[in-house]
A and B are shown apart, each in its own frame.
Chain A
Amino acid sequence: MRDQEKHRPQDGGFSRRNFLKGSSALAAATAINDRSAQADNNASTAPVYGPEARQVTLKINGKKQTVEVEPRVSLLSALRDHLDITGAKDACDSQQVCGSCTVMIDGKAQYACGILAVQAEGKEIQTVEGLGGPQPDPVCQAFVQHDAMQCGYCTPGFTVAVRALLNKNPDATLDEVQKGLGGNICRCGTYVGVTASALDVAKGGA
């Protein structure tokens, strides 16, 4: 097993091709899905990126930040490895399964490992660092009250996921919380506290 797959979005075709065609999110998404024929169809009209690094400007927590990364770099890696914004964690080698890297993109909870940095240009990215104002977000405070953490490595992903869920559905019920947070895994077993926190804030209408 080669360790090199770390930090690389799940992409059979991508690693072989070593470059990315298409500037639109759609074209990039097709490349990620290894539907290379479709990507090739766009080749005549779309610019070709890579393999060299290029400047990417990301709007993170309301602030524009420019970073020079190769097109293959995920948003998660851009945040963690290039911008030192490390609240989002990578626990599944960017396999888009564990939710520890959950961020909000244009208000929607998304795995930061599942999107390339170049795809995230022009979008509003909110990380756990961007939650709350002068005071921590009520979700973060509820997590403390209900001890919804142990080692804490999955916790920032959970707090963002809860915040996104409650933004969309401020009165979420137990059933909705269980379904809505099914995209995040915790190894230490903090689900009881997470559930209580989400329901607590939902009741508070925050």
Chain B
Amino acid sequence: MATFQEQERSEYAWPSAKDRQIIGQRTTRIDGIYKTTGEAKYSSDLNPADLLHGRLLTSPYAHARITKINVDAAKKSKGVQGVYLFADAAVGSEIRWQGRELVAVAADTPEQAEDAIAAIEVEYEVLEHWVDEADVEGARAAGRANENEAQTAGDVDAGFAQADKIIEGHYGIPTITHCCWETHGSTCVWDGRSLTAYLSTQNVSGTPGQFTNGLTMKDVDIESTEVVCQYEGGGFGSKFAADTWGIAAAYLAHEAGRPVKLMLSRATELQVAGNRPSGYAEVKIGIKNDGKMVAWDSVHWGTSGVGGGGVSTGVTPYIFTPENTRRQQISISTNTGGARAWRAPNHPQGCALTQTAMEDAAAALGMDPIAFFKKNLDIVDRAQHPDAATVYAKELDIAADLIGWDQRWHPRGQGGGGAVKQGLGIALHSWGGGAHPSSCMLKIRPDGGVETYLGSQDIGTGTKTIIAMAIGETLGLPADAIKVNVGRSSYPVSGGSGGSTTVGGVSGSNRKAAVEARKELFAKVAPRLNASADQLEARNGEIRVQGTDRKLDWKQATGLLGVQPIEVMQTHRGDEPGLTARGVGGVQIADVSVDTETGIVRMNKYVAVQDVGTIIDLLTAESQVHGAVIMGIAFALTEEQIMDNATGRFINSDMVNYKLPRLGDIGEIIVHMIQPEDGEVGRAEHDRGVVGLGEPPVISPGAAISNAVANAIGVRVPTLPLTPDRVLAALEKGGDA
């Protein structure tokens, strides 16, 4: 059946499925106990001696000009040790979104800092704003719409002419925020001309220069910055920068000669510290009676903030691309905080805007959507993964089996006779996730200790644990025997944690370093075992001559090193077959119940089938998928940035009104990771090498859940999240919604 691409394997490739020792198993996090007991110290937890507490004053207006600003009273306020003016804190400055940072203060206690902020006088001339991301006509009239040129491929008109049916629909996915549980910020400590920034970041190696340069531009005499982050309370793509408030904290600490902690408030976090661009689309699809898509025409609009932006046409349509396509995008400039990379940039929106339309097309034909998607697998995107179609076909079968598709699926609108209707919905996704550049230094000490150092970070994905497993696999040691040192920029440079590139990067560099260190150890040990180095293997805490009883245990072996440890520096730059790779797919199916009287959608069951190359830690890999699905349930059902057109304010920028699902809201979630046991596809996946996983499983839930709701109630609820009011409105509008 499948024709998997044969490639020459890297000399550092992972062992075959039958030879692996610990990778692929469920391994608990090496730092898990510190998180559960509260011992783990985050940037926001640090209380160095003489710490000052920072607070911000931000703009309440979406669009305004500052006519007066006076910080004299704040400077004199009790306990205040420093006041910092951001670039916009000046008469005449134009404020272009709510939450724009203006003034930072540092005081002896948090309360004193708050009092000082309250003492600042600012007057504004309020200007006209535009915050509506969905109203494209209004935006045009207000001069806020930028019509980008349509991109075409094939002959769109001819494509529609040959179609048996043309389906049209409207779809929407609003802006959501990253909503990191630990807000953005840092604790900054100086020692002479050297700054240590304990920054909540997903970019340890990439942020020191931002501090040093930013402070130099403020005329601070600075020699160097070290960024430290041992634990980070969530980033999701929004924590790559020092940020203006990081510079402010460092500046205030420098001026006061005391450490400063400055974390954003929840409101400011939601307003300015990152969001995911919105998309609203008009979609037209030409299909043949057998389900083949032959033509696509879409125009979508949305915003990334003041600069316009929005969702790329690269994801409209998503994954399935008919031969004849026209896609257009309109950027709307809104007076809202700027977008940042949000987990799988563009993909969740593209999936929600277009695989919904495709499911509508299947429904219009009365076709089972699984059959519909299978029918179109020949036009699936293969750029990331040449065997994508084969993998998707396998995943569709596994997912259908796990959800009980044959028993639970019914044609659209036949979700039961009562008020509560049940339905199934499906979506597919794709992501790259190749390795980022990563360097590490690995040491094997004569006493048997093994340590690695790299300027990476564990943002909660389990990075430290998979590093330990990668080394342990190579040296024949358990993961908890490896000391993993990350989270300091003085360690070897390793990439930021974005785009699902970390697991490949750090497992690549550490695998290479461990292989090289193992070679050196084998060379030392071989004479003692009367063997040549290439006859040795490291397994189960022993160095053994393969196929014999001649062996040394690990400590005996490392004892032969003398006084000097083995020290190996390695860099992984770009994927190598069998070690790290790129390109994954995934299929997800939602089973929901919708109460047609209240509009409430309940999750019954959710199946996520995910291929991800070689899996290092099955436990944390499954956690990534569970978490992604739950985050997806959030943006499918509850979560959105709500802007008030009258005042220009983000009116739910707090955790009372920015709704996230709770523990009882998620239903049953079944995760199936493709593994060697899954036949030829599984073995081929394992042999590809490690691919990143943070992004892909968060892509499909919006479309899958929307499709399930449509299947249940017989009409499309066009815009996410599928809140009761939207569900009821769609039901009221009826079948032509």
Footprint of B on A, CB under 8 Å? 1-8, 70, 72-73, 77, 80-81, 84, 86-89, 91-93, 95, 97-98, 100, 127-129, 131-132, 136-137, 139-141, 143-145, 147-156, 159, 177-179, 181-182, 184-195
Contacts and interface: CB of A to CB of B under 8 A. Distances in A.
Interface string B616-632: 00011011101111110
A91 B47 contact: no
B37 interface: yes
Leading 9 A-B pairs by shortest Cβ distance: A87-B38, A189-B630, A151-B460, A153-B233, A189-B627, A152-B35, A178-B664, A4-B114, A150-B460
B36 interface: yes
B115 A191 contact: no
Given A144-B32, A149-B32, 9 more contacts: A2-B57, A70-B109, A87-B37, A87-B38, A89-B42, A140-B36, A152-B460, A153-B182, A185-B662
A55 B42 CA distance: 28
Contacts, number: 225
Given A81-B53, A95-B654, A147-B29, A190 B627 contact: yes
B626 A91 contact: no
Contacts of B459: 151
B182 A6 contact: no
Given A140-B37, A151-B233, A156-B36, A188 B266 contact: no
Contact of B47 (A2, A86, A156): A86
A147 B460 CA distance: 11
A141 B36 CA distance: 8
Contact of B266 (A92, A136, A192): A92
Secondary structure of the A side of the interface?
loop
Contacts of B634: 189
B266 A93 contact: yes
B623 A81 contact: no
Given A127-B38, A136-B37, A1 B110 contact: no
Contact of B45 (A72, A86, A137, A188): A86
B663 interface: yes
Interface in B35-49: 35-42, 44-45, 47
A164 B33 CA distance: 19
Contacts of A152: 35-36, 40, 231, 233, 460
B729 interface: no
A184 B655 CA distance: 11
Interface residues of B, number: 75
Contacts of B656: 92, 95, 97
B509 interface: no
Contacts of A131: 37
Contacts of A8: 114
A4 B42 contact: no
A92 B654 contact: yes
Interface in B378-404: none
15 contacts: A72-B111, A73-B111, A87-B37, A92-B266, A92-B654, A100-B181, A129-B37, A132-B37, A140-B33, A151-B460, A181-B663, A186-B181, A189-B628, A190-B627, A195-B663
B466 interface: no
Given A149-B460, A152-B460, A189 B629 contact: yes
Contacts of B109: 70, 81
Contacts of B179: 187
B386 to A, nearest CB: 31
Nearest to B99: A1
Nearest to B653: A1
A147 B462 CA distance: 10
B490 interface: no
A100 B109 CA distance: 22
Interface string B101-117: 00000000111011101
Contacts of B213: none
A193 B623 contact: yes
B110 A7 contact: yes
Nearest to B54: A3
B594 interface: no
A153 B40 CA distance: 9
Contacts of A81: 47, 53, 109-110
Contacts of B47: 80-81, 84, 86
Nearest to A139: B36
Nearest to B617: A147
Contacts of A87: 37-39
A149 B666 CA distance: 16
Interface in B303-322: none
B33 A144 contact: yes
Contact of B29 (A72, A91, A149, A159): A149
Nearest to A6: B265
B37 A89 contact: no
Contact of A3 (B39, B117, B234, B663): B117
Contact of A147 (B28, B57, B115, B235): B28
